[in-house]
């Protein structure tokens, strides 16, 4: 694993730790503070957020008050490509589980992520971040897959073995 890969994976681990702390305003710590216009697109947003004011309003709409009771973010399958000595891009998946304030039950999901990083004195820092939800068709397919009865895989295996045995038996008879 390259040093750049390890360093950016560490940034994602630190990002998770900030999300886990439920202090979302601290996410800025892992962003390039010298960048005049960071880009941000969360899966649930209708449009991009450009600039620090927009990011702060997203991370902390009402400073000191959370709309979310708890959120757990986990990044996985991180692939990094260094595109210049001080620039890198990363593609990965993010898993979020959260509980909004109020009567709604907890929800969760997976999204694809593309992020751009700039190397500064303190290490790699985000300058752009975008989450892409999976398509509705693929999402529905996943829901149906999750709804399969626990007994079905064994039943399916038995059917396929019986079919295989029948095909072999037919082949022997026909020879």
For residue 145, the model assigns a pLDDT of 86
pLDDT of 165 reads 79
The C-alpha atoms of residue 159 and residue 164 are separated, in whole angstroms, by 9
The pTM of the full predicted model, rounded to 2 decimals, is 0.80
pLDDT tens sequence for the chain (175 residues): 899 999 999 999 999 999 999 999 999 999 999 999 999 999 988 999 999 999 999 998 888 888 889 999 999 999 999 999 999 999 999 999 999 999 999 999 999 999 999 999 989 999 999 999 887 787 788 888 888 999 999 999 999 999 887 766 565 544 3
Q: What is the reported pLDDT for 40?
A: 97
Cβ contacts of 28 within 8 Å, gap of 6 or more: 52, 55, 56, 59
* SS3 track for 23-64: CHHHHHHHECCCCCCCEEECCCCCCCEECHHHHHHHHCCECC
Predicted pLDDT of residue 139? 77
Rounded to the nearest angstrom, the gap between the alpha carbon of residue 170 and the centroid of all alpha carbons in its chain is 49
> 13: which 2 tokens?
């681990």
d(CA 58, CA 45) in angstroms, rounded, equals: 10
Query: Domain map of the chain by residue range?
Result: 3-133, 136-175
Question: What is residue 58's predicted lDDT score, i.e. its pLDDT?
Answer: 92
The pLDDT value recorded for residue 168 is 60
Task: Provide the pLDDT for residue 38.
Answer: 98
In CATH, the number for domain 3-133 is: 3.10.450.50
């Amino acid at each position: 694993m390259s040093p750049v890969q390890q360093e950016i994976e560490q940034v994602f681990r630190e990002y998770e730790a900030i999300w886990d702390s439920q202090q979302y305003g601290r996410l800025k710590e892992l962003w390039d503070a010298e960048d005049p216009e960071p880009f941000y697109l969360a899966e649930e947003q209708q449009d991009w957020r450009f600039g620090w004011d927009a990011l702060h309003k997203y991370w902390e709409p009402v400073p000191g008050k959370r709309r979310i009771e708890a959120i757990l973010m986990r990044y996985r399958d991180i692939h990094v490509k260094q595109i210049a000595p001080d620039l890198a891009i990363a593609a990965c998946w993010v898993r979020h589980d959260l509980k909004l304030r109020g009567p709604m039950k907890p929800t969760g999901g997976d999204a694809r992520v593309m992020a751009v990083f700039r190397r500064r004195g303190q290490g790699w820092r985000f300058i752009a971040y975008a989450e892409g939800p999976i398509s509705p068709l693929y999402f529905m397919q996943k829901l149906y897959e999750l709804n399969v009865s626990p007994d079905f895989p064994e039943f399916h295996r038995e059917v396929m073995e019986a079919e295989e045995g029948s095909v072999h038996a037919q082949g022997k008879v026909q020879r």
